[in-house]
Structure 1
């Protein structure tokens, strides 16, 4: 019956293929992301914990430790030179809204 109606056959095959691919990709991505995130987080936590413990052993103040961890974070994640919304002018719109609210115009 399906061979007599090629449209039904193609719809059936496309639905079956999409269900199979969605299940396969969801399983694959969940495994991949869980492994990747666990490795990523363990490396970063060990680095930040070692910085924190070495700073505590050298009797740094809490403010110095926070500044040290903050600088270490930006060492691993460099600051972008220009954020995406700064190119489009959206930042100036937000500045205008904030200035208007500050001066009671909004």
Structure 2
């Protein structure tokens, strides 16, 4: 009986955290994240490898992708952009590499 109660409690806790969490797209340790009810975009370079990182994202009502850059190539903070009146509905993280193809993280779709 205790096992069933423990499983039910852990499922409830995980579900509650997921429902309130912002959505992240990763490329290695670098990431982009939508915040403030999907109206702000952040991009964070976490690798100190000399490569800039950008977030490609799309906002309801805009026709094209928008971009946000963290250009220092160092693990020393994040860049943010927003607030948009409409919601961000898709974003991904891209590591920009000069003279080589960029490394692209997967698209994520915030709820």
Provide TM-score, normalisation by structure 1.
0.27
Bigger CA radius of gyration? 1
Instruction: Specify which structure has the higher proportion of strand.
Output: 2
Q: Which has the higher contact order (CA 8 A, sep 6+)?
A: 2
Answer 1 or 2: which has greater helix percent: 1
